[in-house]
Chains A and B, each alone.
Chain A
Amino acid sequence: SQQGEEDPQALSIQEGENATMNCSYKTSINNLQWYRQNSGRGLVHLILIRSNEREKHSGRLRVTLDTSKKSSSLLITASRAADTASYFCATVDQGAQKLVFGQGTRLTINP
C-alpha cells in the first residue's frame, strides 16, 4: 500500500526556477528517502534523512523533515531541463526493512 500523499501530483516550471515537492506519511519512521525516476528508467536514490534530523543538503537538493507533522519537502534549486522526472518519497518504518513509496510528483522543467 502507498504510504501517503505527495503534493503536487504534477509541477511544471521554467528552467532556473526552484521546485518544491511535499510528502506526507502516516507512521513512525526510521528514515525518509527521496528517489528520482526518469521516463523508462529505474529509480535513483537522491537523499536520505533520518527521523532525528530536520534538514539535509546535497548539491542543489534540500530536504526537510517534520516528524510532528509527518511531512517532508524536497527543494531543487536552479532547476535544469535534466531534472525533468518523477520524484518519489519513501519511508522506512521503525523496525521495518522495506521502503514504502508515495505516489510521486511529476516534475517538468521547461527550457
Chain B
Amino acid sequence: DTGVSQNPRHKITKRGQNVTFRCDPISEHNRLYWYRQTLGQGPEFLTYFQNEAQLEKSRLLSDRFSAERPKGSFSTLEIQRTEQGDSAMYLCASTWGTGGNIFPRNEQFFGPGTRLTVL
C-alpha cells in the first residue's frame, strides 16, 4: 500500500501528558499537511510543509503544538501538556505542489488519522 499512513491510529492519554503522532506521506509528494477534525465538523487546517520547510501555521496551532518534517519525508506532530480540548482526530494529507503556484491537480491524499482522547 503506497498511500498515506499515520501512527498510532488511536491514542488515549491523561491530561498534561505529551503525545507525538507520525505521518508517512506518499513518497513522491513534496507537500504534507496536518488537519484536526472534531466530531460532526469538517477538518480544520493546522500547518503544512513543502519539503522540510514549514510554510504556514494556523492560529489553532498553539505553542503547545509543534510539527516537524526533518528530512522532507515523514512528519511528526507533538502536543505538549495535553488538554481535554485537544481530543480530536488528527489527519495528515500529502500532495504535489510547486513553489507559490498551485499544481493544476492539487487533490490531497489523506491518511486514516490518529484519534486522540485526552482523559
Contacts and interface: CB of A to CB of B under 8 A. Distances in A.
Q: Could you say which interface size class chain A belongs to?
A: 20 to 34
Nearest to A40: B112
Contact of B56 (A33, A44, A97, A100): A97
B102 to A, nearest CB: 6
Given A1-B44, A42-B91, A104-B42, A99 B110 contact: no
Contacts, number: 60
Interface residues of B, number: 27
B112 A41 contact: yes
Tell me whether chain B's interface is mostly helix, strand or loop, or mixed: loop
Nearest to A101: B42
Interface of B: 4, 31, 33, 35, 40-45, 48, 55-56, 91, 93, 97, 100, 102, 105-113
Interface of A: 1-2, 30-31, 33, 35, 41-45, 48, 88, 90, 92, 95, 97-104
